[in-house]
Amino acid sequence: MNIEAKHRALVDEAARQGRKDGQDIALCFQILSLADAIDRDCASRLAPWHLSESRFVLLFLLHGQPEGLSPHELAERAGVTRATITGLLDGMERDGFLRRQGDPQDRRKLRVRLTAKGCETGAALFDGHMRWIASLLAGLGTDDRRELGRLLGMVWQNTDQATEKDRT
């Protein structure tokens, strides 16, 4: 597997210094390089639709929700802040993917619904995007996938992010 040049320099230097943790460093940078490659592939697949990954997530969350969702619900489900959701919704509304309307039961609240363009874009994208994601693991059998998930979970538990979530 390729390791990005910025990481390769650190791996090579660790090897030159004879560090015992060189293999750990290399594995960490392999994971980072893989994540970067997946992010770039995802961005290039969504770019023709004028979508970022965050916008795609909102499209996905709103798909099949004819009553829509509140901005607060969208932020919570997407794992972003209210400030971030406002910016995403502003851009997606401007681009014609969704509209914000008053809630019929409570005029103080907003509901976010997909427009026809948002529904059409979602319908055109979802299946293909899910097939692409599945194709990333095409060479792995069921047991391999389970083991990979278990191993990645173990690595995750050693991150500061996991530790912070445990504290809250």
3 state SS of 159: coil
- Tens digits of per-residue pLDDT, 133-148? 999 999 999 999 999 9
Indicate the class that CATH gives domain 51-144: mainly alpha
Residue scoring higher pLDDT (153 or 108): 153
CA angle (103 as vertex; 99, 105 as ends), nearest 5: 160
Report pLDDT for 1. 61
pLDDT at 61 over 70: yes
Q: What does the mean pLDDT of the chain come to?
A: 89
CA distance 31 to 13: 19
As a whole number, mean pLDDT of residues 69-93 equals 94
Report pLDDT for 106. 78
pLDDT band of residue 166 (cuts 50, 70, 90) is low
Question: Are 71 and 86 in contact, with CB atoms under 8 Å apart?
Answer: yes
Report pLDDT for 164. 66
Report pLDDT for 104. 78
* Token pair recorded at residue 30: 């392999």
Share of the chain above pLDDT 90, in %: 63
pLDDT at 120 over 90: yes
Print burial letters for 126-151: b (CB count within 10 Å at least 16), e (below 16). eeebeeeeeeeeeeeeeeeeeeeeee
